[in-house]
Amino acid sequence: MTQACFDTSTTATQRVASALEGAASPAAQHVFTQLYADAARASAQHCDAQVQAGRSLGALHGVCITLKDNIDVVGETTMAGGVVCAGEAPALHDAAVVQRLRDAGAVVLGKTNMSEFAFSGVGINPHHGTPANPADPAHARVPGGSSSGAAVSVALGLAEVGIGTDTGGSIRIPAALCGLVGYKSTQARIPCTGVMELSRTLDTVGSITRSVRACLAVDAVLSQQPLHTNAANLRGLRFAVPQTLMMDDVDTTVAQAFARTLRRISEAGAQVVELPFTALGEIAALSMPGGFSPIESYAAHHARLERGAHQIDHRVVARMMLGKGISAQDYLELHNRRHAWIAAAEQTLQGFDAMLCPTVPMVAPLTEPLLKDDEAFFKVNRLLLRNPSAINYMDGCAWSLPCHEAGELPVGLMVSGLAGQDAHLARVALALENLINS
């Protein structure tokens, strides 16, 4: 049976028809790289027929979802937001997560646009165009990346779930900038089989939705490890707010929304502790100049770079090429530094229920200046990735919850925990969502 957190007021056929109509609107320009219109209609009709017969296909029966363009669909070449892969062999199987979604009754609407090869937190794409952030229709603002189309498909109401990937924040960043909920689980929960690699050390698959409950329903399908959980009682919980790095360069809107949210959490009886988290300074050493993503993406895509670098976004090429000259010794040392960083994080966060910080330190920036100026692009990209990437390096789990007020540009609250703390963190996220929405 479809979970209560999803729309059941209309039929799946009606929802697909509405989604396809919306996908043709100007607001949805650049959201999809491919629409599966006929297949989605057929899938929806099958779902409705099962309802009439008194049967359910599973927890996502008739739920409209979108897939990020780096996820395999059987019979198609996976393009990952680019063009250089054209002509490569098509996928022989659906990605593991796609098969699980289909088995649970989900209706796949199409594939969504993304930062090419998932290598940016901004969401700009020179091949397919950049989806406009629906939070501010009057101004062209970036949606965040790399799961840009995934977020916009949900923000526009075309889909209830956008399936994305998160290597350094690529689910949580667009969720934050578009005013949605995004969840990055502990990496080992969900298989990445059939997902084009950016960094095998850091890649995760997850979802962008409108609620914590919806993300949990999707996670139960993707992981096959349901987190049967209720909201925690905030009274008595302890939250760490790091004062190192993560609060630097925070813009006024984000700072005010974050401070307002912390006050409400304190008033609810939780303890909010400002924490000197000196180990966060190690993040820069882990990520630049030849961090996991440049090294591992160069290893995965060097043949494509050699034959067709001119067909790839030059900003992506520049970052991938940072991994070319890294020695095996340096790569192993990077892993050693990561293990030390994880140990330091575990020690620092011992005794806390979660760590809180802004998901990103800014509201969605305007698109045009970032298209024109590479220096501005890379500066914004570094700032967008800074906070969420720390959790990937930690192999932790994290949520981005919208915490802005009506009339403000979206702001995300990142709620994070250590590896394997997904169940407890889900209880905390439910409680915080209830508080923010009350």
For the chain, the domain total comes to 1
How many other C-beta atoms can be found within 10 angstroms of the C-beta atom of residue 127?
15
Q: What tokens were used for 252?
A: 């006024």
Nearest to 240 by CA among 385, 417, 423, 433: 417
CA atoms within 13 Å, Cβ hemisphere of 41:
7
Instruction: Using the predicted structure, report yes or no on whether residue 282 has a pLDDT greater than 80.
Output: no
Q: What is the pLDDT of residues 327-385, one digit of tens each?
A: 999 999 999 999 998 999 999 999 999 999 999 999 999 999 999 999 999 999 999 99
351 lies in a domain? no
In the predicted structure, residue 119 carries a pLDDT above the cut 90: yes
Using the predicted structure, report yes or no on whether residue 244 has a pLDDT greater than 90: no
DSSP bridge pairs for 181: 209
Report the percent of the chain where pLDDT is more than 70.
Answer: 98
Judge whether 24 and 110 are in contact, CB under 8 Å.
no
Q: Kindly list the strands in the beta sheet with 238-242, ordered across the sheet, starting from the edge strand earlier in the chain.
A: 32-35, 107-112, 64-68, 161-166, 204-209, 181-184, 397-402, 412-417, 354-358, 238-242, 271-275
Averaged over 26-38, what is the pLDDT? 98
The mean pLDDT of the chain is 96
Convert the chain into a string of H (helix), E (strand) and C (coil).
CCCCCCCCCCCHHHHHHHHHHHHCCHHHCCCEEEECHHHHHHHHHHHHHHHHCCCCCCCCCCCEEEEECCECCCCCCCCCCCCCCCCCCCCCCCCHHHHHHHHCCCEEEEEECCCHHHCCCCCCCCCCCCCCCCCCCCCCECCCCCCHHHHHHHHCCCCCEEEEEECCCCCHHHHHHHCCEEEECCHHHCCCCCECCCCCCCCEEEEEECCHHHHHHHHHHHHCCCCCCCCCCCCCCEEEEECCCCCCCCCHHHHHHHHHHHHHHHHCCCEEEEECCHHHHHHHHHHCCCCHHHHHHHHHHHHHHHHHHHHCCHHHHHHHHHHCCCCHHHHHHHHHHHHHHHHHHHHHCCCCCEEEEECCCCCCCEHHHHHHCHHHHHHHHHHHHHHHHHHHHCCCEEEEEECCCCCCCCCEEEEEECCCCHHHHHHHHHHHHHHHHC
Residue 31: pLDDT band (50, 70, 90) is: very high
**Does residue 37 fall inside a structural domain?**
yes
Whether residue 435 contacts residue 232, with contact meaning beta carbons closer than 8 Å, is answered with: no
The confidence band for 416, taking pLDDT boundaries of 50, 70 and 90, is very high
pLDDT in tens, 392-403: 999 999 999 999
Total residues found in the chain within this entry? 438
Pairing mode of beta strands 32-35, 181-184? unpaired
In this prediction, residues 226-243 reach a mean pLDDT of: 95
Lowest mean pLDDT among 137-146, 223-232, 281-290: 281-290
Confidence of residue 281 (pLDDT cuts 50, 70, 90): confident
- Show which residues are catalytic: 68, 146, 170
- Location of structure tokens 């020695």: 327
Whether 93 shows a pLDDT value over 90: the answer reads: yes
Classify residue 271: in a domain, yes or no: no
> What is the structure's pLDDT at 288?
61
Cα 284 from chain centre:
21
Tens digits of per-residue pLDDT, 309-328?
A: 999 999 999 999 999 989 99
Q: In the predicted model, is pLDDT for residue 79 greater than 60?
A: yes
152 in a structural domain: yes
Does the residue 360 lie in any domain?
A: yes
The mean per-residue pLDDT over the stretch 172-194 comes to: 99
Measured CA distances, 328 to 303, 305, 333 (Å) = 19, 20, 8
CATH code, 33 = 3.90.1300.10
Measured CA to CA in angstroms, residue 297 lies from 79, 125, 163, 274, 381 at distances of 15, 18, 21, 36, 17
pLDDT at 2: 60
Q: Cα–Cα distance between 318 and 322 in angstroms, integer?
A: 7
335 part of a folded domain: no
When pLDDT is cut at 50, 70 and 90, the band that residue 1 belongs to is low
Q: Which of the two residues, 258 and 8, has the higher pLDDT score?
A: 258
| Two tokens, residue 240 | 């760490």
**Measured distance CA(71)–CA(81) in Å, rounded:** 11
| Residue carrying the six token digits 């307002």 | 260
Return the pLDDT at 264.
Answer: 98
Domain presence at residue 48: yes
* Range of the structural domain that residue 67 is part of: 1-235+356-438
Global pTM? 0.97
d(C-alpha 347, C-alpha 158), whole Å: 43
Alpha carbons 292 and 335: distance in angstroms, whole number:
9
Could you give the percent of the chain with pLDDT greater than 90? 93
- Which pLDDT band, with edges at 50, 70 and 90, does 82 fall under? very high
Is 344 domain-assigned? no
Give the pLDDT score at 253.
98
